[in-house]
Structure 1
Amino acid sequence: MKVLHLSTLNSSVNNAGVVRQLQYEKDAAIDLGIDWSVELWAGDVLDGFDFIRPYPSYLNSRLARRWFFFKVLRNYSSIYDVIVLRYMPVDPFLVFYKQDRAALISVHHTKEEGAIRASYLGLKGRILSVCDNFAFFVGARRFSAVVGVTPEIVEYELRRARRDLPTFVLPNGIDFSRFQVVDDRRFGSIKLVFVATFFFKWHGLRSLLSSIASCSKVDDFELHLVGEVSVEDVCYIHECGIKNIKLHGVVDISTLRDILALADVGLSSFGLGEKGVQQACTLKVREYLASGVPVFAGYDDIGLPDNFPFYMQGKPDLLDIISYAKNMRNFGREKIRRSSMEYIDKKNLVSKFHSWVVEEIKPE
């Protein structure tokens, strides 16, 4: 069976995590020896990724690029048996799609309504979310299956589609071999590391800072923030007089590994409810675990088993996080890394997904 995973982004440079995920998938398909291609169309090109196709320079509007991408999709529908399509919110052309041969699988990484309303506030967000619900409802008549990164997202999409479709839950994964365990330099005060490209509201940083501010007498810890912190949050840190925070800004991989070597715990998002979701399976968590760093976060990571000891779900409460971090000092980096491998390795996930596609999806 000949399969293509097809995606489009306005910018690959601004979505490096998505690009990395596609590279892991491509590498896994090669290692598995399956006929599975990956292609991403974007307004720019991130160096080192040969599956990215730049839009022609004369296409300088989102609508024009969507029309071009729709023609690409139509052309590939006569070449491949299955097209795994990363769903594009508010796509005006998908409703006109008619397949030649390829079965179309729609892949979803978020609940679109919540994401749209978080990006476009007020009336514009409401209008766009209504338009997307309609476009998806019509487009779902062309889908052979729906895939989501969490069960919560799959259930949401089926409600929007208002029809029964085959479904598959495909958590995010990483190329495990690319992430070697970091050095173990845990000593002295507890050290927490929170990594993000930019700390958006849904990362829940402000809630964590509020908890720290309310525990002013607790000083046996450090919080290392890696990435761009908003001006408002930096001002809040200064206003509250919080002394235990180190702002690193955006760093290179070598520097990040040095910081993670100090980490007792890696932190992930505490405010995904802002996007209307309670479940996730972020790349950041997988990169922490593959590096041998346990994780504390505010959501249910569906890619990990219940009661997995090196992932703790909880509120951004400093005392709870410190308690968990102290317990984690009893476990070595290699133990944490090895225990997580079967759940986060991209090759395992692609193999399971490919087997499901072969068994469940029938091309025209």
Structure 2
Amino acid sequence: MKVLHSALMKYASSGILNQMTWELKAAEKLNLDWEVVLYVQEYNANKPSEIVKQWEGTSRLNWIKFRQDYYKWLLEQSRFFDVLVLRHSISDPFQAAFIKKIKKPVYLVHHTLEVQEILSDNNMKTNIKSKIEKYFGKISLDSAQGVIAVTNEIFNYENKRTKNKFKDKIIYPNGINYDDNKIQDDRRGDIPELIFVASYFSTWHGLDLLLKDLKNTSENFVLHIVGNLNCMDEQLAKQDERIVLHGHLSQNEIQELVSKMWIGLSSFALFRKGMKEACTLKVREYLRNGLPVYSGHKDIFPEHYCYYKVGEPIFKDILEYARIVRVVDKRVVSELSKEYIDKEQLVKNLYVHLKDSIYDAGM
């Protein structure tokens, strides 16, 4: 079975680029006939990538021509593959037309609750965009062979848009590359050290909720915050000597800092995006490095898994969990997390699921 996984984007974001690059490397290690292409309008040529295909058009503002050329290219490529896996292109009538026309099975990959996310910025432009997504997104879903979602919540949301057309639930969470994984464990002393990492702390990270709970505890701990904050959160954080603001750090600097931490923190306000579940790359980076996670939302981990704890942004509960997992070797945490977050295992599972799905459909 030959598979093409393709995504259409204006820019190649680092997170998506990493996910798709790791996917290709995993497929190569598994000897799968699997290609990965990120088709972009603009790309920094100083950072070569084997998966990026840059649009050959010239006008940066030509939204229509960019998409027309992409689906023309995709139609030509489809001759060489048995299955197309497409990252869902939001509010895209050209995608809907393409899937209706093509004879090959198409699976759409969904990473968010599209309409709700669009409407999180409530203005005239987003209201129009949401209506386009409601209409053409549903046509795309109705014409697709199946839906691939990063969480159960997203699958159920997309399936509801088609009146539960899809009986086969395919979950393909974000993963991380375990190659050359070196665990560093430099925890010292009895004072809990916690870390919260984001490139920029958006409202859905819920950092404000965590900082507001500082007044409710006099316990001794250190919270390291890595990333850029808005003015209000920064002002609040600077009022407590238990908070250390690092700003932006390189991956090597974060790695060194993580080696000293007891646990990592993840988002506490997904409800602000209308979501209850997520599978962020940051959580996977924590776990690969042997760092248990305390988070405000569900992920893909089963309930018996001990190193991802869901709870409220309350320091009393966070510190209690930190002391429980403090005694666990970080290499153990990393190894026991691997089956859930290793990109190679996730790609293998997806390939088998796709093959079974197509077989069951009689294709």
TM-score norm. by structure 1 comes to 0.92
Deviation, structure 1 residue 38: 0.4
Report the Cα distance in structure 2 between the residues aligned to 1:52 and 1:231, rounded to whole angstroms.
36
CA contact (8 A) 1:82 1:363 kept: no
SS for the counterpart of 1:262 is coil
Question: Percent identity, aligned pairs only?
Answer: 33
SS for the counterpart of 1:38 is strand
Report the Cα distance in structure 1 between the residues aligned to 2:267 and 2:305, rounded to whole angstroms.
18
Number of the residue aligned with 1:44:
43
Deviation, structure 1 residue 233: 1.6
Number of the residue aligned with 1:93:
94
CA contact (8 A) 1:78 1:99 kept: no
Number of the residue aligned with 1:24:
22
Report the Cα distance in structure 1 between the residues aligned to 2:91 and 2:180, rounded to whole angstroms.
35
CA contact (8 A) 2:266 2:293 kept: yes
Consecutive unaligned residues of structure 1, counting only runs of 5 or more, are none
Alpha carbons of 1:226 and 1:196: their partners in 2 closer, same or farther (altered >3 Å)?
A: same
Deviation, structure 1 residue 293: 0.6
- Aligned residues between the structures: 356
Alpha carbons of 1:247 and 1:353: their partners in 2 closer, same or farther (altered >3 Å)?
A: same
Number of the residue aligned with 1:136:
137
Deviation, structure 1 residue 363: 9.0
Number of the residue aligned with 1:228:
228
CA contact (8 A) 1:295 1:312 kept: yes
Equivalent residue letter for 2:115? E
Deviation, structure 1 residue 48: 4.6
> Relative to structure 2, which stretch is displaced further, 71-80 or 314-323?
71-80
Report the Cα distance in structure 2 between the residues aligned to 1:179 and 1:191, rounded to whole angstroms.
22
Report the Cα distance in structure 1 between the residues aligned to 2:164 and 2:210, rounded to whole angstroms.
41
Deviation, structure 1 residue 129: 1.4
Report the Cα distance in structure 2 between the residues aligned to 1:70 and 1:143, rounded to whole angstroms.
15
Deviations, residues 240-293 of structure 1 (Å, cap 9, x unaligned): x22211111121121111110111110111111111111112111111111011
Equivalent residue letter for 1:263? M
Report the Cα distance in structure 1 between the residues aligned to 2:80 and 2:101, rounded to whole angstroms.
11
Deviations, residues 139-187 of structure 1 (Å, cap 9, x unaligned): 2232011110111111110111235134311111111124321233242
SS for the counterpart of 2:222 is strand
Equivalences for residues 92-171 of structure 1 within 5 A: 92-97=93-98, 98-118=100-120, 120-162=121-163, 164-165=165-166, 166-171=168-173
SS for the counterpart of 2:246 is strand
Number of the residue aligned with 1:319:
316
Report the Cα distance in structure 2 between the residues aligned to 1:100 and 1:126, rounded to whole angstroms.
30
Equivalent residue letter for 1:244? R
SS for the counterpart of 2:179 is helix
Deviations, residues 198-234 of structure 1 (Å, cap 9, x unaligned): 111111111111111343x23x111111112222321
Report the Cα distance in structure 2 between the residues aligned to 1:9 and 1:181, rounded to whole angstroms.
34
Report the Cα distance in structure 2 between the residues aligned to 1:100 and 1:10, rounded to whole angstroms.
24
Equivalent residue letter for 1:39? V
Number of the residue aligned with 1:296:
294
Number of the residue aligned with 2:199:
197
Equivalent residue letter for 1:73? L
> Relative to structure 2, which stretch is displaced further, 307-316 or 155-164?
155-164
CA contact (8 A) 2:193 2:222 kept: yes
CA RMSD of aligned residues (A): 1.8
SS for the counterpart of 1:78 is helix
Number of the residue aligned with 1:261:
259
CA contact (8 A) 2:57 2:66 kept: no
CA contact (8 A) 2:187 2:262 kept: no
The alignment status of 1:355 with 2:352, answered yes or no, reads: yes
Alpha carbons of 1:309 and 1:163: their partners in 2 closer, same or farther (altered >3 Å)?
A: closer
Alpha carbons of 1:253 and 1:259: their partners in 2 closer, same or farther (altered >3 Å)?
A: same
SS for the counterpart of 1:121 is coil
CA contact (8 A) 1:298 1:315 kept: yes
Deviations, residues 47-99 of structure 1 (Å, cap 9, x unaligned): 25211112235131233322322222222233321110000111121222144
Equivalent residue letter for 2:119? R
Equivalent residue letter for 1:344? I
CA contact (8 A) 2:266 2:283 kept: yes
Q: Of the two structures, which has the highest relative contact order with CA contacts closer than 8 Å and spacing of 6 or more?
A: 1
Deviation, structure 1 residue 133: 1.0
Deviation, structure 1 residue 131: 1.5
CA contact (8 A) 1:184 1:333 kept: no
Equivalent residue letter for 2:209? S
> Relative to structure 2, which stretch is displaced further, 53-62 or 322-331?
53-62
Equivalent residue letter for 1:179? N
